[in-house]
Amino acid sequence: MRAVVIAAHGGAENLEVREVARPVAVGDRVRVRVRAAALNRADLLQRRGLYPAPAGAPQDVPGLEFAGVVEQLGEEARAWREGDRVFGIAAGGAQGEYVVAAESALARVPENLSWEEAAAVPEAFITAHDALFTQGGLTVGERVGVHAVGSGVGLAGLQLARAAGAQTFGTARTQAKLERAREFGLDEGVVVADDPKAFADAVRGRTDGAGVNLILDLVGASYLAANLDALSYRGRLVFVGTLAGSVAQLDLRVVMSKRLRLAGTILRARSGEEKARAVRLFAAHVVPLLARGAVRAVVDSVFDLADVRAAHERMEANENFGKIVLRVTGGG
Amino acid sequence: MRAVVIAAHGGAENLEVREVARPVAVGDRVRVRVRAAALNRADLLQRRGLYPAPAGAPQDVPGLEFAGVVEQLGEEARAWREGDRVFGIAAGGAQGEYVVAAESALARVPENLSWEEAAAVPEAFITAHDALFTQGGLTVGERVGVHAVGSGVGLAGLQLARAAGAQTFGTARTQAKLERAREFGLDEGVVVADDPKAFADAVRGRTDGAGVNLILDLVGASYLAANLDALSYRGRLVFVGTLAGSVAQLDLRVVMSKRLRLAGTILRARSGEEKARAVRLFAAHVVPLLARGAVRAVVDSVFDLADVRAAHERMEANENFGKIVLRVTGGG
């Protein structure tokens, strides 16, 4: 089968599309013929050699999420049948014509989604749902801050927060991204160039000083102090990424006096059982929203598998708004 | 009535025992004739002018916890009758012959406790119960780390963790304090002088590298990195004090990859409603343990009210093991 292969660690020029052995599903796994697969920042890190695939996953074929058709079942797989339209997550290997995944890592694709849209969903929406609800305990009527609102996770978080009855505050590096984010549920946008304090000031100014109850942070260290400042009493800060560094000063007095909670989460590092739980909650709580159009996949751009280098370059340049998708195989 | 008064901010020589007006309970408040009241580090900070009493509380009479007899009821108070033996918390003013407190801030003293023992209970046990269970979600079979195990909160935390079926790891600055902590449920002690890393190393060494599930931290900044290192996957770190500084480097990568949760809590800053909830849980879950001797008040020393300066000096010198108690009024 054809798949993206990381031939050597470094720049995008090390990506190649090659013939590799087709994987076989055993046990409770299923093989999916991949129609489309989306890119993640983790793919860039893996390409540079900074984020190796976990044991048991394909080491040189990247790809953490996909949409496609169930094509072969392991002998213990019970949840799916050949021909089912599914999307889901894998620890790697999704950017090829076939991927093998645990049956519990899949959900059924709603009929109203194209393959490209479906591929743009799993990582962003599973991560955002888990961070906002399972980790962050979001409740109706709360105020939520989302950094990097133009990213896949940011747009998923915005939409889910709005669907759950929250007021949303978001940051991006350009006014243009904030404007586009409005149609996905952004209530209050703040351009944050190099001064994260602008976020805290804006939040305080627009909430009578009360702050936001929950922040979904993909940015990391450089925003930590501003995040603590922007949080309300009993606020929660959930880290899902560290784009701008990972080591920051933490003032425990603020954490204690405001009774804050900080939590970190990475989807890929979880056990199969925990991923299964996150996917089950996604299937139960997010897929119905997708099916009725209350939240939408945001596809920035679609590249053919052969153009994977250009796809990486677009993500690296931070030009995307929403997800970058690779079209892998054709068919109905 | 006689009460401890902070005559000026500074050293213990500014503490005086003076005649002050006896407070009157109105609304849902009750006046308690105080038999004994315990000291807290917050009293030292308040004396130095670093921790003013909240609005509505007596400004110059310290004292956050007490045991005594209900003596006068506000017109809306329903939970208590004159003559009830109670212990509880107040936002200040407990180190005098009478204190006024919300009726929801009191619990009934078990018969097996002396007044001095009862006064040594509320702050330490409410704080430790809230931190371990309400904030930290402690579950049977987990491993718990407690810093400053010789402190009031430390000894309460140790005992509650053991009573709930946890294995306990604790730190103190001397071997002597660790030895004494063994009879209160300490399984594994670590002397931590100026190197908090010793705690993380010991925890890893004694848990096959797995770490502790929950840490109750009264120390703060200087322990943060070691705490993150000592925590297990999905571990929880609850801050209840910052004896050794409040600003520290936080590595978000560790928080994310281990999926840690950090939470801060101060009892005094909470709303009345939230304090009421913490006291209700204390009455339901901790008082029965006290009544049957499964956990015990740890009284380091008892001073007469007139000797409050000496009591402060003992706490300031870090000599105490358990709580320092002031005997306020006599009687049966």
**Interface predicted TM-score (ipTM) of this complex, two decimals:** 0.77
Please give the backbone phi and psi of residue A2, each rounded to the nearest 5 degrees, phi first: -90, 140
Which residues of A fall within a CB distance of 8 Å from B262? 255, 261-263
Which residues of B fall within a CB distance of 8 Å from A249? 247-250
Are A301 and A280 spatial neighbours (Cβ–Cβ below 8 Å)?
no
Q: Report how far apart, in Å, the C-alpha atoms of A267 and of each of A49, A130, A239 are.
A: 19, 9, 11
Please give the backbone phi and psi of residue B295, each rounded to the nearest 5 degrees, phi first: -135, 155
How many C-beta atoms surround the C-beta of residue A52 within 10 A?
12
Tokens of B163: 């009573």
Which residues of B fall within a CB distance of 8 Å from A224? 250, 252
Q: Report how far apart, in Å, the C-alpha atoms of B233 and of each of A234, A268, B13, B112 are.
A: 24, 14, 49, 41
pLDDT in the model for residue A61 = 97
Contact B257 A264 (CB under 8 A): yes
Can you tell me the distance from the alpha carbon of B332 to that of A291, in angstroms, rounded to the nearest whole number?
Answer: 71
With 0-12 / 13-18 / 19 or more C-beta atoms within 10 angstroms meaning exposed / middle / buried, residue B76 is exposed
User: In this structure, is the dihedral angle defined by the CA atoms of residues B256, B258, B261 and B264, taken in order, positive or negative?
Assistant: negative
Taking chain B (332 residues) in runs of 10, the rounded mean pLDDT of each run is 96 96 96 98 94 89 97 96 97 96 96 98 96 93 94 96 93 94 96 90 95 93 93 95 84 93 83 89 94 95 97 93 94 56
Which residues of B fall within a CB distance of 8 Å from A248? 249-250, 252
Residue type at B29 in one-letter notation:
R
Contact A251 B255 (CB under 8 A): no
The domain spans of chain A are: 2-121+298-327, 124-264
Contact B259 A240 (CB under 8 A): no
Tokens of B225: 């990195």
pLDDT in the model for residue A331 = 62
Which of B256, B264, B265 minimises the CB distance to A266?
Answer: B256
pLDDT in the model for residue A128 = 96
Q: How far is B274 from chain A (nearest CA, A)?
A: 11
Mutation target for A interface from B231, B255, B274: give the one with most A CBs within 10 A.
B255
pLDDT in the model for residue B33 = 98
Contact B263 A258 (CB under 8 A): no
Q: Across B96-137, where does the E strand assignment appear?
A: 98-102, 106-108
Please give the backbone phi and psi of residue A203, each rounded to the nearest 5 degrees, phi first: -60, -45
pLDDT in the model for residue B331 = 63
Short-list A85, A63, A51, A84, CA closest to A311: A63
Counts of helices then strands in chain B (DSSP H, E):
11, 16
Q: How far is B270 from chain A (nearest CA, A)?
A: 9
Q: Across chain A, where does the E strand assignment appear?
A: 2-6, 15-19, 29-38, 65-73, 85-89, 98-102, 106-108, 143-146, 167-172, 188-191, 212-217, 231-239, 247-251, 261-264, 299-304, 323-327
Contact A260 B264 (CB under 8 A): yes
Tell me which CATH code domain A124-264 carries. Answer: 3.40.50.720
Q: Which residue in chain A has the smallest CA separation from B136?
A: A261
This prediction has a pTM of 0.85
Q: Report how far apart, in Å, the C-alpha atoms of A273 and of each of B125, B131, B146, B200 are.
A: 36, 28, 30, 28
At residue A117's C-alpha, the angle toward residues A112 and A122, to 5°, is 105
Q: How far is CA B133 from the centre of its chain?
A: 15
| In A232-301, alpha helices (H) | 252-257, 272-285, 287-291
Burial B174-188 (b: 16+ CB within 10 A, else e): eeebbebbeebbbbb
Counts of helices then strands in chain A (DSSP H, E):
11, 16
Contact B260 A258 (CB under 8 A): no
Contact B264 A252 (CB under 8 A): yes
The single residue listed with the structure tokens 């939590």 is A263
DSSP A94-105: -SBSEEEEEGGG
Q: How far is B264 from chain A (nearest CA, A)?
A: 4
Mutation target for B interface from A51, A222, A256: give the one with most B CBs within 10 A.
A256
Instruction: Please list the residues that pair with A251 across neighbouring strands.
Output: B247
Residue type at A276 in one-letter notation:
A
pLDDT in the model for residue A267 = 76
pLDDT in the model for residue B267 = 76
Which of 188-227 (A) contact B at CB < 8 A?
A: 220-221, 224
Which of 222-251 (B) contact A at CB < 8 A?
A: 224, 239-242, 246-251
Q: How far is A304 from chain B (nearest CA, A)?
A: 33
Q: How far is CA B135 from the centre of its chain?
A: 15
Sorted by sequence, the CB contacts under 8 Å of residue A101 that are 6+ apart come out as A29, A30, A32, A66, A88, A89, A90
Sorted by sequence, the CB contacts under 8 Å of residue B16 that are 6+ apart come out as B4, B5, B7
Mutation target for B interface from A51, A218, A247, A255: give the one with most B CBs within 10 A.
A255
Contact B258 A251 (CB under 8 A): no
Q: Flag whether residue A256 sits within 8 Å of chain B, measured between CB atoms.
A: yes
Q: What is the pLDDT along chain A (332 residues), one digit of tens a residue?
A: 999 999 999 999 999 999 999 999 999 999 999 999 999 999 999 999 998 888 888 999 999 999 999 999 999 999 999 999 999 999 999 999 999 999 999 999 999 999 999 999 999 999 999 999 999 999 988 999 999 999 999 999 999 999 988 999 999 999 999 999 999 999 999 999 888 999 999 999 999 999 999 999 988 888 999 999 999 999 999 999 877 788 999 999 999 999 999 999 877 777 888 899 999 999 999 999 999 999 999 999 999 999 999 999 999 998 899 999 999 988 64
Q: Flag whether residue B263 sits within 8 Å of chain A, measured between CB atoms.
A: yes
- The fold for domain A2-121+298-327 equals Quinone Oxidoreductase; Chain A, domain 1 (3.90.180)
Contact B266 A251 (CB under 8 A): no
**DSSP tag of B96:** B
Q: Which residue in chain A has the smallest CA separation from B246?
A: A252
Q: Flag whether residue A136 sits within 8 Å of chain B, measured between CB atoms.
A: no
Please give the backbone phi and psi of residue B262, each rounded to the nearest 5 degrees, phi first: -120, 135
Which of A242, A246, A255 minimises the CB distance to B262?
Answer: A255
Taking 3-state DSSP, the helix, strand and coil percentages for chain B, each rounded to the nearest 5, stand at: 35, 30, 40
Mutation target for B interface from A240, A254, A259, A274: give the one with most B CBs within 10 A.
A259
Are B148 and B65 spatial neighbours (Cβ–Cβ below 8 Å)?
no
Question: Would A2-121+298-327 and A124-264 be classified into the same CATH topology?
Answer: no
Q: Which CATH number fits domain B2-121+270-327: 3.90.180.10, 3.40.350.10, 3.40.190.10, 3.40.1110.10?
A: 3.90.180.10
pLDDT in the model for residue B194 = 82
